[in-house]
Structure 1
Amino acid sequence: MDGLRIWTTNNRLQQFCGGFLALTLLVLVWLQSRRQARAESERLFALSHGCLPPARWGAKYPLGLDYLFKAFKYSRQQQVLQFFLDVVAESGTTFEQNLLGSRAIDTIDPANIEAILSTNFQDYGLGLRAPTFSPLLGQGIFTQDGDAWKHSRQLLRPQFSSNRSRNFDQIKKCVDDLISAVPANGVVDLQPLCFRLTFDTTMFLLFGDSVSTNDWGQVAGQESEFSKAFNVAQEYLADRGRLGPFYWILNDRSFKEACKACHRFVDAAVKKALEARPGKTKSHTGNPEGEDVKSSYVFVEALVQQTESPKVIRDQCLNVLLAGRDTTGCCLQWTFRLLARHQNVLQKLRDEISKIVGLGVGAPKPTRNDLKKMAYLDLVIKEVLRLYPSVPVNSRECRSLTTLPVGGGPDGKSPVMVRPGEGVGYCVYAMHRRKDIYGEDAEQFRPERWDGGALKNVGWGYLPFNGGPRLCLGQDFALLEVAYTVARVVQVFPQISVPPSEVPVAVGKEKQTLTLVVSSAEGCWVSLKS
């Protein structure tokens, strides 16, 4: 009986193994047929659209490991954007990369970026951005796709269209605070002051008048701790993004603690804002500049009407804080840093401000109408955003088989096929420094290049605020904040120079901190004199 049982068991095991092997072979055959069918479909698609392969990047090691190591080396030297410029110089304006086994396309061709962000917008999504960024930002406007993203934009849009006068009043107040913080000798690092200014104005965008209520200072006083944690967390996000599908490797204790610190701060701010909010919003009339201002709109109150989830509210607030504080703060510190190093530009700007509103502490503060008359100030800001776009590197993931208009073939003029699941990266920082678009002096700070309409047809070659359906909602607010801050600081401190202790560094060669934005790793040390 035992022998029969053993024989029967072995027979059943053999049958199972045979069946499993047959099933495995069938699955493998099916997968292979699927791959062949997909490959044939892609071949026919490429043929029908005239697609040709793009150039490949210049990595020499398998899996692109040499470029990955080089990227982290440049990152440690705080020169990672120079690495991107070097790769473009070696590989061309559109090229294929193979990093850690994943194929992707990188481009700085305006036509391709227009296709990604606008013409073929539906063909692309954020891909790995959500899981890569979620430990810090959760689910908000910068990590969402589809209907959730549309809903977030609808919530945020009224903040910029309804509260224009109140927002400008808050900007003026915060600029006064910045000026008051300048020490008597005038030597100051403006970088933290610029970030504090944009932090305060963004908190006002989020929470409205509740920032002025009792006990708010107990939260706002923790901003320095929050800033440190926010910067650390963003550095991790940037490195996670460079690892592609292996983003999860960077998830150590320091990163987790930084995220927790940010969450604690915003949770406390949301709690205090909700406790202090009025029973109903008030109408604001009597605008001295003659604007139509609708009933005030407070972002956090609108969120509360949609959800009672503290996490949802916190996520949305963190997303807006990222955009409002960091992008505008970076633009301001680069502007003052460049003005101090280019006295010819500062002189022209000073003359314009003197002519329109006058110079000195006692001169009338610029109004919005005054700022509109400052044509050279507009050129200065455009040039700053060209050299140092707030979001210098970005990417999308392809959702469906599609094409990029250029980059294929030996001459780079044929379309390029992009497969579902493949990433497409675009470096605005590198595109803004293309000599064939901006001239041989493209790496120099020269606002006059924008004068006289010489670059009126630059189109998608200039992209400081993204484009297409995801165009930055706060663009007008950010430009107003930068313009007023620069005009007012130059008005009060007409003499802006580099302190004697500073070593001259060429534009683009300074040490940079690249998180999701780019700031100066050396700060913004200037000498301000009235």
Structure 2
Amino acid sequence: MQFPRLSAALSVIFLLVLWRLQAWAVIYRRRSRIKREHGCQDPAKFPNKDPIFGLDVWLDTYQSMKHHRLLPKIASRYKTAGANTFRILIAGKYRISTIEPENIKAMLSTKFTSFVFPARRTYVLKQFMGDAIFVSHGPTWQHSRATIRPHLTKDSFIDSEMSRFEKHFGRMLKAIPRDRSTVDLQPLFFLFTMNAAIEMLTGKDLQSEEQLALAKEGNYGNIVELFDDAQRMLAFRAVLPYGSLPANEKQHIKRCQEWVDRCVIQAIIEHKSGKVAGDGEKLSFLQELVKETDDHVWIRGELIAVLIAGRDTTASTLSSLWFVLAKRPDIVAKLQAEVAELNGERPGFTRLKQMEYVQHTIQELLRLYPAVPANGLEATEDTVLPVGGGTDGKSPIFIKKGQIVNHSVYAMHRRKDIFGPDAEVFRPERWEDKSLRPGWGYLPFNGGPRVCLGQQFALTEIAYTTVRLLQEFQAVESRDASPWQEKWMTSCSVLTGCKVSMIPYENVV
């Protein structure tokens, strides 16, 4: 009696195998047709020492991260592969790595809908910010962008924030010693940008007596440290085999969310009661959002996302910039000459944009030390990237659904065929050459529909802070002989901090 049942079971298994083989055959024929129609060829293959599992590369990556040398390690792999696009085996999975501007343009712009952030990254970040603009895609992302964009990109909005920059800059200035003793500017930059970002977004001054009392009452402690700890936890989880947070870390994330909820709910109540409308004062980013919706969970997620992006990338860039300036008195002298033309006046939005050497110095810093130096996207469908295949790397390459494609802005910004033979050298003067048009070869703020909405705001804050420091101090000396090394969180800052001595003008007490 067992034979009929066994026979039936084998028949079912056979049919399932047959169905699966047929499905594979259909996929194979479709992919072969796509490759043939587009003239696709395989990209170069990275010479793995472990050609079966790629554990050599995984271990090398881990060790590089541990010793804060991942960025130069990634850049060196392009030289090892002998190509700007290659296929590499890491922990049992093949990935595509590219620093070709045309490929990055395709992923971020012309084939935007064919690529999304990898599920692993979004899973980790969603535990903090929900379906916010930086982790969502499709209609959810479109709604977020359409709602947020008008409030962050207007020149009038940025110009109106200059007085807040000065207020928070003044507080930071008091923490910088004038006796030429050593100070680490990096934590000061992070505190400065956090305070400025929170007031811009919520209208709340964290250092006011009212907000300090509310933080104490709600047992939130130091809000800046609260968010710092949350970001460190998420950055750590993002590189582990699993992304779920343990109970104690979930509780920490919850406390951050509760603090933001408090601000959001208060803004919603004030809006509905009419307390904000018609008062003649400029509305905060949060107050603008509550005019669009009363979904406090959605607003909370967007606030957290914009806060982290606006605060971290700006502070990281300022830290790297002054780390470099402290070792380059020649550049500081040229900056001082341009700043002297202000005759002591505080620069406005328009005037900052006209200060060419200041802008070129920031451009050069973002080229060599971008705050977001690498990224990866996952294909949502079978597609093709324009270059990278064949022995010359000029043929299109086929990208299957689910394939991860990594691109290193850090490595691309060091390409000598784009930026010249001295591409590894920090030289702001290169941007004076009008023939230098890197296009998609220069992406400090991403590109395409996902280009950073706060780009102009960040550049203005960086320029303003730099100019004001140069107005207060005649020179800066490095107190750290080590080279720049990466420190990863949600952005890339300086591992050893920015330890310097700030030398004030003789007539400044």
Q: Which TM-score applies when normalising by structure 1? A: 0.86
Pick aligned residue for 2:148 from 153, 156, 160: 156
The residue that corresponds to 1:147 in the other structure is: 139
**Alignment pair present for 1:317 and 2:307:** no
- Structure 1 residue runs of 5 or longer lacking an equivalent are 1-10, 241-245, 285-294
Pick aligned residue for 2:199 from 200, 204, 208: 204
Pick aligned residue for 2:441 from 461, 466, 471: 461
- Kindly indicate whether the alpha-carbon contact (under 8 Å) linking 2:184 and 2:499 is maintained by their aligned counterparts in 1: yes
The residue that corresponds to 2:452 in the other structure is: 472
Pick aligned residue for 1:37 from 22, 26, 51: 26
The residue that corresponds to 1:173 in the other structure is: 167
In structure 2, distance between residues paired with 1:251 and 1:69: 24
In structure 2, distance between residues paired with 1:481 and 1:283: 27
User: Higher mean Cα deviation, 27-36 or 258-267?
Assistant: 258-267
Q: Tell me by how many angstroms 1:127 deviates.
A: 3.1
Q: Tell me by how many angstroms 1:494 deviates.
A: 1.7
Pick aligned residue for 2:111 from 120, 129, 136: 120
In structure 2, distance between residues paired with 1:350 and 1:399: 50
- Kindly indicate whether the alpha-carbon contact (under 8 Å) linking 1:104 and 1:423 is maintained by their aligned counterparts in 2: yes
The residue that corresponds to 2:507 in the other structure is: none
Structure 2: which amino acid aligns with 1:159?
H
Q: Tell me by how many angstroms 1:478 deviates.
A: 0.7
Distance verdict in 2 for CA 1:141–1:409, change over 3 Å: same
Distance verdict in 2 for CA 1:63–1:310, change over 3 Å: farther
Pick aligned residue for 1:106 from 94, 97, 108: 97
Q: Tell me by how many angstroms 1:194 deviates.
A: 0.8
In structure 1, distance between residues paired with 2:145 and 2:163: 24
In structure 1, distance between residues paired with 2:482 and 2:122: 40
SS state at 1:155 partner: helix
Q: Tell me by how many angstroms 1:32 deviates.
A: 0.9
Residue by residue, what CA displacement relative to the aligned partner does 1:368-392 show, whole Å, maximum 9, x if unpaired? Answer: 2331331100100000000111211
**Alignment pair present for 1:83 and 2:73:** yes
Q: Tell me by how many angstroms 1:133 deviates.
A: 2.1
Q: How does 1:476-515 map to 2 (within 5 A)?
A: 476-499=456-479, 502-505=480-483, 510-515=484-489
Pick aligned residue for 2:126 from 126, 134, 142: 134
Residue by residue, what CA displacement relative to the aligned partner does 1:316-365 show, whole Å, maximum 9, x if unpaired? Answer: 221111111111111111111111111111110011111x213xxxx221
The residue that corresponds to 2:342 in the other structure is: 357
Q: Tell me by how many angstroms 1:223 deviates.
A: 2.9
The residue that corresponds to 1:523 in the other structure is: 497
SS state at 1:341 partner: coil
Distance verdict in 2 for CA 1:317–1:528, change over 3 Å: same
In structure 2, distance between residues paired with 1:108 and 1:258: 37
In structure 2, distance between residues paired with 1:39 and 1:336: 54
Q: Tell me by how many angstroms 1:260 deviates.
A: 3.9
SS state at 1:63 partner: coil
How many residues align? The count is 491
Residue by residue, what CA displacement relative to the aligned partner does 1:66-93 show, whole Å, maximum 9, x if unpaired? Answer: 1111111111111211221122221221
Q: Tell me by how many angstroms 1:297 deviates.
A: 4.1
Residue by residue, what CA displacement relative to the aligned partner does 1:65-120 show, whole Å, maximum 9, x if unpaired? Answer: 11111111111111211221122221221111233333321111111101111111
Pick aligned residue for 1:439 from 420, 430, 433: 420
The residue that corresponds to 2:352 in the other structure is: 371
User: Higher mean Cα deviation, 139-148 or 212-221?
Assistant: 212-221
Distance verdict in 2 for CA 1:441–1:206, change over 3 Å: same
- Kindly indicate whether the alpha-carbon contact (under 8 Å) linking 1:203 and 1:211 is maintained by their aligned counterparts in 2: yes
In structure 2, distance between residues paired with 1:326 and 1:431: 22
Pick aligned residue for 1:280 from 267, 276, 280: 276
Distance verdict in 2 for CA 1:86–1:253, change over 3 Å: farther
**Alignment pair present for 1:217 and 2:212:** yes
Distance verdict in 2 for CA 1:451–1:357, change over 3 Å: same
In structure 1, distance between residues paired with 2:252 and 2:408: 27
Q: Which TM-score applies when normalising by structure 2? A: 0.90
Q: Tell me by how many angstroms 1:302 deviates.
A: 4.2
User: Higher mean Cα deviation, 96-105 or 334-343?
Assistant: 96-105
**Which one has the largest radius of gyration?**
1
In structure 2, distance between residues paired with 1:150 and 1:136: 20
Structure 1: which amino acid aligns with 2:74?
F
Q: Tell me by how many angstroms 1:198 deviates.
A: 1.3
Q: Tell me by how many angstroms 1:221 deviates.
A: 6.3
In structure 2, distance between residues paired with 1:497 and 1:275: 50
The residue that corresponds to 1:340 in the other structure is: 326
The residue that corresponds to 1:329 in the other structure is: 315
In structure 2, distance between residues paired with 1:372 and 1:400: 42
- Kindly indicate whether the alpha-carbon contact (under 8 Å) linking 2:198 and 2:204 is maintained by their aligned counterparts in 1: no
Distance verdict in 2 for CA 1:14–1:264, change over 3 Å: farther
**Alignment pair present for 1:64 and 2:54:** yes
In structure 2, distance between residues paired with 1:166 and 1:209: 16
In structure 1, distance between residues paired with 2:481 and 2:254: 38
Residue by residue, what CA displacement relative to the aligned partner does 1:270-310 show, whole Å, maximum 9, x if unpaired? Answer: 456667777224576xxxxxxxxxx8443323444555554
CA root-mean-square deviation: 2.4
Q: Tell me by how many angstroms 1:367 deviates.
A: 2.1
The residue that corresponds to 2:86 in the other structure is: 95
In structure 2, distance between residues paired with 1:88 and 1:324: 31
- Kindly indicate whether the alpha-carbon contact (under 8 Å) linking 2:374 and 2:407 is maintained by their aligned counterparts in 1: yes
SS state at 1:104 partner: strand
In structure 2, distance between residues paired with 1:106 and 1:188: 39
In structure 2, distance between residues paired with 1:441 and 1:254: 49
Residue by residue, what CA displacement relative to the aligned partner does 1:168-214 show, whole Å, maximum 9, x if unpaired? Answer: 22112221221122124243111111111211221123212676876
- Kindly indicate whether the alpha-carbon contact (under 8 Å) linking 2:414 and 2:424 is maintained by their aligned counterparts in 1: yes
What percent identity do the matched residue pairs reach? 34
In structure 2, distance between residues paired with 1:103 and 1:111: 21
In structure 1, distance between residues paired with 2:177 and 2:278: 38
Residue by residue, what CA displacement relative to the aligned partner does 1:470-506 show, whole Å, maximum 9, x if unpaired? Answer: 111111111111111100101111211113xx2242x
- Structure 2 residue runs of 5 or longer lacking an equivalent are 505-509
In structure 2, distance between residues paired with 1:417 and 1:471: 25
